[in-house]
Amino acid sequence: MRFNILKTGAVVAIASVALLTGCSSGGGGAEATGEKLSAEQVTALGDVTLTVSSWASGGQKEALERAITAFESKYSNVKVDASFKSFDDYGKTIDLTMQSNDAPDIAQSNAVMARRLAAGKLIHPLDQYSKAYGWESRYSDSIRGMLTVSEDGKTFGTGSQWGTAPGGNIVGVFYNTATLKKLGLEVPTSYDEFTASLDTAKAKGVQPIVMGNLEQWPANHVLSAILNYTAGPQKVQDWINGAGGDFTSSGFVKGLTELESWMKDGYISADTNGIKNDDGNAAFVNGEGLYQITGNWNTGLYASMGEDAGFFVLPAPAGSQPATTGSFDGAMTVSTKSAQPDLAALFLDFYTGDEMASSNLDGGFLPFSAVDPTKGASPVTQDVLTEWNAMNKSNGLVGYLDSATPSMGDKMFPDLQSLLGGQTSADNVAKDIQANWNKYYEVK
Amino acid sequence: MTLRVHRNGPGGGHAKSALPVRPARKGAGSITGPKYVPYLYLLPGLLLVSAFVLYPLARTVQISLTEWTGVTAPDFIGVDNYIEILTDPDLRSLFWHAAVLIFFYALVPITLGLLITAVLARSRVRGMTGYRAVLFIPQALSMVVVAIAWQWVFASNGILNQLLSLFGDEVTTAWLGSFDWALPAVGLTGTWRQIGLCMVLFLAGVQKIDPALYEAARLDGANAWHEFRYVTLPNLRAEIAVALTLTVTAALKSFDLVYLMTKGGPGTSTSVPGYEIFARAFNRGEIGSAASLGVTLTILIVLVAFGIERFRREP
């Protein structure tokens, strides 16, 4: 009897250890043919279920749900189950989720996650699907580059396509139309006119740029907008992709120095490092300040200003082409554990394609298939759409600086706070940022 | 197997017979059964602790010897991660920040807690339960609520600046954005939170002290300071040790307030080891170096807790 107890104990102990070490047989998914599925082929699959995992919330979540409903009614034998998590939770669990045997067929990813998922062979290369469905023509060169990553997950712009996206986002200058008029200014059309307008506002007692930088990241969008002109779009994109470049070279340092001088000249809110981003946004909406340099994710907030809010891409200096920071948004990947990779690709084609473009626009995406700007719900949304279409056409989008390495945000954002707080110099910030880059890309 | 039914444990001994019956110590057959039986009683607890504490701890140590993204296979790199911790000046500043937080999380609340306790201990206070409940509220509030409320207190147009402006020129410092003041500001928020815990502990401790001691001290001509120094303080030794352990540990492993209030900024002026572990593991996919920092922090906390325990035992 007692020995039985001991035996039971031992069995329990072994079982719990086995459970904890996660003994799993590595069950792989079905082969991806890379071919376009016809309606007949889909019907022939019988009753199938696709699972989708996403961090979409609010309008973007509704847009994905609309796509699912439409897809299910188009292919009645297919059911699509979507599960949603907050971005924070999602980012922290996606690696484990995608390694498990019940990984979702389709999973949302950003550039940082894509690196690890691609390196771990947890997602299918989508190049063949891209050809079959004609996704290539949707994206401008810059966006296509950002959706492509090398086999080891290190370098963007080379290797295989890792995801496809329903839309993108763009960073630019939001302005208060009424304040601009009061100051006797027109919408600036050149970089010099823009900096002159900062000076005018300051002289007349209006805060030129309102920015809450307590969360550390907001300042990097101002920097990246400037860098496109001081270093040039190609150099910035190459550096982000890991293809080469040096943050300590003159163009980059010039951008940092420009940001620093905007702070010193009082163009940026004096207490920016201590102002919550939300509070800065709220102040702008309530009529404080002339500009905010941030992304279209704030458009909904500014829409409440009606005619008083407008948007333009930071204008180019004489002799340069307009360029701005922007990227894809809501990119989706296909799991290598999926039993239905071809069907997953078909769904992605549907969700990111023309058919759902206006639904995706309503959800807050900027669709890659050009949408008529007059469809924008508010004056500021129409401005954003106009600039978005122009940038996509002219290939003017440049990625986000913090996707240069997995730890770039953690390095760069505090550095920029220190620069704005007068604790360090542009040269030192450049060196620190480049050291992080060199370490990741193993450059001596 | 036969069992002798006699209650003859050590210290027992209601033997009816004139002959003393010694507890059977050798071989199987005592009331308690074979020697391994007590261990069987411990087994469920041991299994739980092994599964949820010891095993994860061992794994963390194992992972700390690797370079690992969490997805691709880990590379064994020996103690390189630990060498980095010992040599990286940036990391040293994080431990220094934690030390500053010990001042605000532990020393200030305990001192203030003792002060208030000393005042209250000298007289019977009506509605003590009510006071205690109010003092304990900061402990009961969600950390997110605490962090956001204090962000507003320290904002450039917050209540702190409004109060300071009453005494002269308008003050508009954004305290959490200041490289000099952000860490003390986070620390003071911690003080506000911990003070309730300390006071409740001390007030409970004081009620155990025999009022006759105070009376005797007064008869001997002791003043308020003497009463505090020679009656209250020595009798609260255990409570102070508990308060120290809880608050110092909270300071060393602090993460939530920093994460919620400043994200370690401005620059890295409020970053602490706990926040760095989180950032490495979950933002950057540097699981190996995060694990090594976690192990280091654990060792440090165990050592400090051990030191405090020594303080409690010494007269």
pLDDT digit string (tens) for B153-175? 999 889 999 999 999 888 888 89
Write down the pLDDT at residue A88: 78
The candidate with the shortest Cα–Cα distance to A64, out of A356, A431, A274, A291, is A356
Decide: residue B286, CB within 10 A, 0-12 exposed, 13-18 middle, 19+ buried. buried
Q: Is B266 on the interface with A (CB under 8 A)?
A: yes
Collect all residues of chain B within an 8 Å Cβ-Cβ radius of residue A271.
156, 172-174, 177
Q: Is B284 close to A9, i.e. CB distance below 8 A? A: no
Write down the pLDDT at residue B31: 62
Q: Is B177 close to A214, i.e. CB distance below 8 A? A: yes
Share of chain B above pLDDT 90, in %: 52
Share of chain B above pLDDT 70, in %: 88
Collect all residues of chain B within an 8 Å Cβ-Cβ radius of residue A216.
263-266
Question: Within 13 Å and on the Cβ side, how many CA atoms surround A223?
Answer: 28
Is it the case that residue B23 has pLDDT exceeding 80?
A: no
Write down the pLDDT at residue B185: 96
pLDDT digits (tens, 9 = 90+) for B174-205: 899 999 999 999 999 999 999 989 988 998 89
Q: Once rounded to an integer, what is the mean pLDDT over residues B237-260? A: 93
Give residue B46's identity as a one-letter amino acid code: L
Give the residue carrying structure tokens 């207490």: A271
Residue B315 banded pLDDT, cuts 50, 70, 90:
low
Write down the pLDDT at residue A34: 86
Q: Is B265 close to A417, i.e. CB distance below 8 A? A: yes
Burial B122-138 (b: 16+ CB within 10 A, else e): eeeeeeeeebeeebeeb
Q: Is B282 on the interface with A (CB under 8 A)?
A: yes
Alpha carbon distance A180, A201 (integer Å): 9
CA distance B110 to chain A (A): 30
Write down the pLDDT at residue B203: 87
A122 and A94 in contact (C-beta within 8 Å)? no
The candidate with the shortest Cα–Cα distance to B202, out of B311, B298, B116, B93, is B116
pLDDT digits (tens, 9 = 90+) for A332-369: 999 999 999 999 999 999 999 989 998 898 888 999 87
What are φ and ψ of residue A160, in 5° steps?
A: -110, 155
Residues of chain A with pLDDT under 50: 1-27
Give the residue carrying structure tokens 């078909």: A346
The candidate with the shortest Cα–Cα distance to A140, out of A402, A399, A391, is A391
Collect all residues of chain A within an 8 Å Cβ-Cβ radius of residue B71.
95, 99, 116-117, 119-120, 122
Write down the pLDDT at residue A15: 43
* A176: helix, strand or coil: strand
- Could you tell me which residues come within 8 angstroms of residue A258 by beta carbon, excluding any fewer than 6 positions away? A226, A230
Q: Once rounded to an integer, what is the mean pLDDT over residues B112-133? A: 79
Q: Is B268 on the interface with A (CB under 8 A)?
A: yes
The candidate with the shortest Cα–Cα distance to A418, out of B182, B88, B97, B282, is B182
A204 and A179 in contact (C-beta within 8 Å)? no
CA-CA distances (angstroms) from residue A121 to A98, A125, A154, B1?
Answer: 10, 9, 13, 62
Question: Within 13 Å and on the Cβ side, how many CA atoms surround A160?
Answer: 20
Is it the case that residue B137 has pLDDT exceeding 50?
A: yes
Q: Is A425 on the interface with B (CB under 8 A)?
A: no
Decide: residue B61, CB within 10 A, 0-12 exposed, 13-18 middle, 19+ buried. middle
Q: Is B176 close to A214, i.e. CB distance below 8 A? A: yes
Which is more confident, B223 or B3? Answer: B223
Alpha carbon distance A215, A234 (integer Å): 29
Strands A167-176 and A309-312: antiparallel
Counted residue by residue, chain A has a size of 444
Collect all residues of chain B within an 8 Å Cβ-Cβ radius of residue A414.
264-268, 271
Is it the case that residue B10 has pLDDT exceeding 60?
A: no
Q: Is A274 close to B172, i.e. CB distance below 8 A? A: no
Mean pLDDT of chain B: 86
Three state DSSP letters for A4-70? HHHHHHHHHHHHHHHHHHCCCCCCCCCCCCCCCCCHHHHHHCCCEEEEEEECCCHHHHHHHHHHHHH
Alpha carbon distance B227, B118 (integer Å): 9
Candidates B156, B181, B284, B286: best to mutate against A (most CBs of A within 10 A) is B284
Angle (nearest 5°) at CA A425 between A192 and B281: 110
Is it the case that residue B263 has pLDDT exceeding 60?
A: yes
DSSP state of A315: P
- Could you tell me which residues come within 8 angstroms of residue A96 by beta carbon, excluding any fewer than 6 positions away? B70
Give the residue carrying structure tokens 């508990």: B242
Is it the case that residue B9 has pLDDT exceeding 50?
A: no
CA distance A88 to chain B (A): 9
* Closest Cα in chain A to B47: A13
Alpha carbon distance A118, A113 (integer Å): 9
Question: Within 13 Å and on the Cβ side, how many CA atoms surround B310?
Answer: 6
Write down the pLDDT at residue B111: 94
